Structure 1
Amino acid sequence: MYKKYVELRDKAKLTDYAVSMMTGITKSTFTDWKSGRSKPKVDKLKKIADYFGVTIEYFLEE
Protein backbone atom coordinates (compact mmCIF):
# COMPACT_ATOMS: atom_id res chain seq x y z
CA MET A 1 0.00 0.00 0.00
CA TYR A 2 2.72 2.46 0.95
CA LYS A 3 4.47 2.05 -2.40
CA LYS A 4 1.28 2.97 -4.25
CA TYR A 5 0.76 5.94 -1.96
CA VAL A 6 4.31 7.15 -2.67
CA GLU A 7 3.73 6.85 -6.42
CA LEU A 8 0.60 9.02 -6.18
CA ARG A 9 2.29 11.48 -3.84
CA ASP A 10 5.35 11.85 -6.03
CA LYS A 11 3.30 12.13 -9.22
CA ALA A 12 1.40 15.01 -7.60
CA LYS A 13 4.73 16.53 -6.46
CA LEU A 14 3.65 16.54 -2.83
CA THR A 15 5.33 15.75 0.47
CA ASP A 16 4.00 13.65 3.33
CA TYR A 17 3.61 16.93 5.21
CA ALA A 18 1.39 18.41 2.49
CA VAL A 19 -0.77 15.27 2.31
CA SER A 20 -0.95 15.29 6.10
CA MET A 21 -2.21 18.87 6.14
CA MET A 22 -4.85 18.15 3.48
CA THR A 23 -6.12 14.85 4.93
CA GLY A 24 -5.65 15.32 8.67
CA ILE A 25 -3.53 12.16 8.85
CA THR A 26 -0.45 12.77 10.98
CA LYS A 27 2.97 12.65 9.39
CA SER A 28 4.03 10.07 11.98
CA THR A 29 1.30 7.79 10.66
CA PHE A 30 2.91 7.88 7.22
CA THR A 31 6.26 7.08 8.87
CA ASP A 32 4.70 4.08 10.64
CA TRP A 33 3.27 2.80 7.34
CA LYS A 34 6.62 3.24 5.64
CA SER A 35 8.49 1.34 8.34
CA GLY A 36 5.85 -1.38 8.53
CA ARG A 37 5.06 -0.63 12.18
CA SER A 38 1.39 -0.30 11.26
CA LYS A 39 -0.98 -0.71 8.35
CA PRO A 40 -3.59 1.87 7.38
CA LYS A 41 -7.02 1.57 8.90
CA VAL A 42 -9.98 1.81 6.55
CA ASP A 43 -10.89 5.37 7.55
CA LYS A 44 -7.41 6.69 6.77
CA LEU A 45 -7.20 4.66 3.58
CA LYS A 46 -10.50 6.23 2.49
CA LYS A 47 -9.19 9.75 3.18
CA ILE A 48 -6.10 9.13 1.05
CA ALA A 49 -8.09 7.44 -1.72
CA ASP A 50 -10.55 10.34 -1.81
CA TYR A 51 -7.75 12.89 -1.77
CA PHE A 52 -5.98 11.31 -4.75
CA GLY A 53 -9.21 10.41 -6.57
CA VAL A 54 -8.71 6.64 -6.50
CA THR A 55 -10.63 3.78 -4.92
CA ILE A 56 -9.63 2.00 -1.73
CA GLU A 57 -9.25 -1.13 -3.86
CA TYR A 58 -6.44 0.61 -5.77
CA PHE A 59 -4.28 0.36 -2.65
CA LEU A 60 -5.25 -3.25 -1.96
CA GLU A 61 -4.29 -4.57 -5.41
CA GLU A 62 -0.83 -6.06 -5.71
Structure 2
Amino acid sequence: MYKKFANLLVKNNKTAYQVSKDTGIAQSVLSDWKTGRSTPKFDKLFVLAKYFDVPVEYFAEDSDEKGA
Protein backbone atom coordinates (compact mmCIF):
# COMPACT_ATOMS: atom_id res chain seq x y z
CA MET A 1 0.00 0.00 0.00
CA TYR A 2 2.77 2.45 0.83
CA LYS A 3 4.21 2.03 -2.66
CA LYS A 4 0.91 3.27 -4.11
CA PHE A 5 0.88 6.15 -1.65
CA ALA A 6 4.43 7.05 -2.67
CA ASN A 7 3.41 6.97 -6.34
CA LEU A 8 0.58 9.38 -5.60
CA LEU A 9 3.01 11.70 -3.83
CA VAL A 10 5.20 11.83 -6.93
CA LYS A 11 2.29 12.22 -9.36
CA ASN A 12 0.82 15.06 -7.33
CA ASN A 13 4.13 16.70 -6.44
CA LYS A 14 3.43 16.38 -2.71
CA THR A 15 5.50 15.38 0.27
CA ALA A 16 4.40 13.14 3.13
CA TYR A 17 4.71 16.23 5.33
CA GLN A 18 2.25 18.17 3.15
CA VAL A 19 -0.20 15.27 3.14
CA SER A 20 0.10 14.99 6.90
CA LYS A 21 -0.64 18.68 7.38
CA ASP A 22 -3.51 18.70 4.86
CA THR A 23 -5.22 15.51 6.05
CA GLY A 24 -4.44 15.44 9.75
CA ILE A 25 -2.84 12.00 9.43
CA ALA A 26 0.25 12.13 11.62
CA GLN A 27 3.65 11.81 9.97
CA SER A 28 4.48 9.05 12.43
CA VAL A 29 1.50 7.07 11.12
CA LEU A 30 2.70 7.50 7.53
CA SER A 31 6.17 6.44 8.62
CA ASP A 32 4.80 3.34 10.34
CA TRP A 33 3.04 2.38 7.11
CA LYS A 34 6.25 2.85 5.18
CA THR A 35 8.27 0.64 7.51
CA GLY A 36 5.52 -1.93 7.79
CA ARG A 37 5.13 -1.36 11.52
CA SER A 38 1.40 -0.86 10.98
CA THR A 39 -1.17 -0.98 8.23
CA PRO A 40 -3.67 1.73 7.45
CA LYS A 41 -7.21 1.49 8.71
CA PHE A 42 -10.07 2.08 6.28
CA ASP A 43 -10.88 5.54 7.62
CA LYS A 44 -7.34 6.74 6.87
CA LEU A 45 -7.39 5.15 3.41
CA PHE A 46 -10.67 6.90 2.75
CA VAL A 47 -9.14 10.26 3.71
CA LEU A 48 -6.16 9.64 1.43
CA ALA A 49 -8.37 8.52 -1.45
CA LYS A 50 -10.45 11.67 -1.15
CA TYR A 51 -7.33 13.83 -0.85
CA PHE A 52 -5.76 12.38 -4.00
CA ASP A 53 -9.09 12.04 -5.83
CA VAL A 54 -8.77 8.29 -6.38
CA PRO A 55 -11.23 5.55 -5.47
CA VAL A 56 -10.47 3.95 -2.12
CA GLU A 57 -10.19 0.63 -3.99
CA TYR A 58 -7.01 2.00 -5.59
CA PHE A 59 -5.13 1.05 -2.43
CA ALA A 60 -6.55 -2.47 -2.43
CA GLU A 61 -5.72 -3.33 -6.04
CA ASP A 62 -2.73 -5.57 -6.67
CA SER A 63 -1.36 -3.53 -9.54
CA ASP A 64 -1.40 -0.01 -10.85
CA GLU A 65 -2.97 -1.03 -14.16
CA LYS A 66 -6.39 0.52 -13.71
CA GLY A 67 -5.44 4.05 -14.72
CA ALA A 68 -3.63 4.77 -11.52
Q: Normalised by the size of structure 2, how large is the TM-score?
A: 0.88
C-alpha RMSD over aligned residues = 0.5
Higher relative contact order (CA 8 A, sep 6+): 1
5+ residue gaps, structure 1: none
Name which one, 1 or 2, has greater alpha-carbon Rg.
2
What stretches of structure 1 move > 4 A for 4+ residues in a row?
none
Higher relative helix content:
1
5+ residue gaps, structure 2: 63-68
Q: Normalised by the size of structure 1, how large is the TM-score?
A: 0.96
Aligned residue pairs total: 62
